[in-house]
Amino acid sequence: MRYPDGMVNTYTFFAPPQIVFGWGQRSEAGRLAATLGRHAWLLSGSRTLERSGIVDALADSLLAAGVTAKRSSAPAHEPEVADVDDLVNDWRGRGAAMGDCVVAIGGGSTLDLAKAAAALVTNRQGNSVVDYLDGVGRGLTITEPPLPMLAIPTTAGTGTEATKNASISSYAPPFKISLRSDRMVPRMVLVDPELTVSVPRDITAYTGMDAITQLLESLLSKRAAPIPQALCRQGLQLAWPALPRAVQDGGDRPAREAMAHAALLSGMALANSGLGVAHGVAAALGVHCRTPHGLACAVMLPAALRVNRHVRQSELAELSALLLPRTYAAEEDRVAALIDAVESLCREVGIPSRLRDIGVRREQIADLVPSSHGSSLSGNPRDLSDDELRELLESMW
């Protein structure tokens, strides 16, 4: 955004080494995977993908390029500790070894599961993924390179194809913590927006709002930096008009392309800049109320902007001018218009505005507050005390 005196501070930036983007580009999967290994562990997520023949076509493309594939299916929920441990044991039991690669096709949950398994197959010091999770495990770290991965997202949302972490959930005890290592960034990302055409309307809305929340939170984060901010601005300019169209008509090709690209950018941005309070609370809502991640982010987004508006006024005012057709003379008015517009966007794509409307019980707020203090919250521009968080959640109930 604004760089006083043209100053650019110290930063580091990383991203997947190779990104292939384009409608129908999944036909390139075999050629790409062949550069990673001769044997692939192929993890696929959605039953729809399997039924539609897309996973078979992917396996054929691998075989045609000389890559043999052993297939596994991911469960239809965000990865839990046992899901990761089971998949790692399965792959190890079937002979997974250095020199193999992982090809994962699915939504954010499937890609997260694949990233965690690809890392743990080669890191054998622990008995469970828990041993590697901050704060709950034995403090083990990923020291060996994971199996190299080709990530093929089928939803436009989490951007996990471009990040270095995998979000792992547990319900007893309740936590949602990332397995994290710079080495976990997928080696190759293949984004084929045509794969998102069959995503149902509600999932399109949730995942798309996740991408928009990630773009906004990364852009405003305490750790915001020039390259991620540039990606965020481009992502928001594309996603802002495209999301309602993608929700309205799943076959709208330009809208699907814009959302797929924006989601990828959101992953690259958050991997470098972190997030904020919407994602902090979304993790807690996932664990305690089983709220889908994107829905939780979307419900929290207007409140997250309001909480930070005074410490990020100039950035929000600039965004307002970038995204909205009408601009206002006063900075404060521009910010107010932007927050109103985010609320309208949520309404337009079917996101409720109150926590009780997504199944949160009032007495659960006491549990949500401590569970919101993950790594996401640490990126929030303003430090929030437990009392402030509780007040915020009470006001949204």
**Rounded least distance, CB 267 to Zn ion, Å:** 9
- Number of residues interacting with Zn ion: please give it, by CB under 5 A: 1
**Rounded least distance, CB 152 to Zn ion, Å:** 19
Binding to Zn ion (CB under 5 A) within 102-161 occurs at none
- CB under 5 A: which stretch of 50-58, 203-211, 341-349, 358-366 binds Zn ion? 203-211
Q: Cβ closer to Zn ion: 39 or 115?
A: 115
Say if strands 188-191 and 149-153 run parallel, antiparallel, or are unpaired: parallel
Q: Cβ closer to Zn ion: 61 or 266?
A: 266
The string of DSSP letters for 86-148 reads: HHHHHHHHTT--BTBEEEEEESHHHHHHHHHHHHHHH--S-SSGGGGSTTTS------SPPPP
| Crossing angle for the helix pair 331-348 and 226-248, to the nearest 10 degrees | 40
Q: How far apart are CA 391 and CA 397, in angstroms?
A: 10
Using DSSP, state whether 177 is helix, strand or coil.
strand
**Rounded least distance, CB 159 to Zn ion, Å:** 8
- CB under 5 A: which stretch of 202-210, 345-353, 363-371, 380-388 binds Zn ion? 202-210
**Rounded least distance, CB 243 to Zn ion, Å:** 15
**Rounded least distance, CB 327 to Zn ion, Å:** 29
Q: Nearest CA to 78 among 105, 45, 124, 33?
A: 45
| Crossing angle for the helix pair 201-220 and 226-248, to the nearest 10 degrees | 160
217 touches Zn ion (CB under 5 A): no
- CB under 5 A: which stretch of 28-36, 207-215, 248-256, 376-384 binds Zn ion? 207-215
- For Zn ion, which residue has the nearest CB? 210
Q: Cβ closer to Zn ion: 335 or 349?
A: 349
Is the dihedral angle over the CA atoms 142, 271, 153, 292 positive or is it negative? positive
Q: Cβ closer to Zn ion: 161 or 210?
A: 210
Q: How far apart are CA 348 and CA 247, in angstroms?
A: 9
Q: Cβ closer to Zn ion: 210 or 318?
A: 210
Which spans in the chain are helix H? 29-34, 47-51, 54-64, 81-93, 108-122, 201-220, 226-248, 253-273, 277-289, 293-308, 313-323, 331-348, 365-371, 386-396
- CB under 5 A: which stretch of 48-56, 84-92, 165-173, 206-214 binds Zn ion? 206-214
Q: Cβ closer to Zn ion: 301 or 317?
A: 301
**Rounded least distance, CB 214 to Zn ion, Å:** 5
Q: How far apart are CA 370 and CA 149, in angstroms?
A: 34
**Rounded least distance, CB 339 to Zn ion, Å:** 20
Q: Cβ closer to Zn ion: 192 or 210?
A: 210
**Rounded least distance, CB 107 to Zn ion, Å:** 12
Q: How far apart are CA 309 and CA 332, in angstroms?
A: 9
- Phi/psi of residue 85, each to 5°? -60, -45
Q: Cβ closer to Zn ion: 78 or 210?
A: 210
Q: Cβ closer to Zn ion: 61 or 109?
A: 109
Q: How far apart are CA 28 and CA 1, in angstroms?
A: 37
Q: Cβ closer to Zn ion: 181 or 376?
A: 376
Q: How far apart are CA 46 and CA 106, in angstroms?
A: 6
- CB under 5 A: which stretch of 146-154, 209-217, 255-263, 340-348 binds Zn ion? 209-217
| Crossing angle for the helix pair 331-348 and 293-308, to the nearest 10 degrees | 160
Q: Nearest CA to 148 among 96, 191, 108?
A: 96
**Rounded least distance, CB 282 to Zn ion, Å:** 7
- CB under 5 A: which stretch of 46-54, 144-152, 165-173, 205-213 binds Zn ion? 205-213
> Judged by CB under 5 A, which of 210, 217, 257, 318 binds Zn ion?
210
Which stretches of the chain bind Zn ion, using CB under 5 A? 210
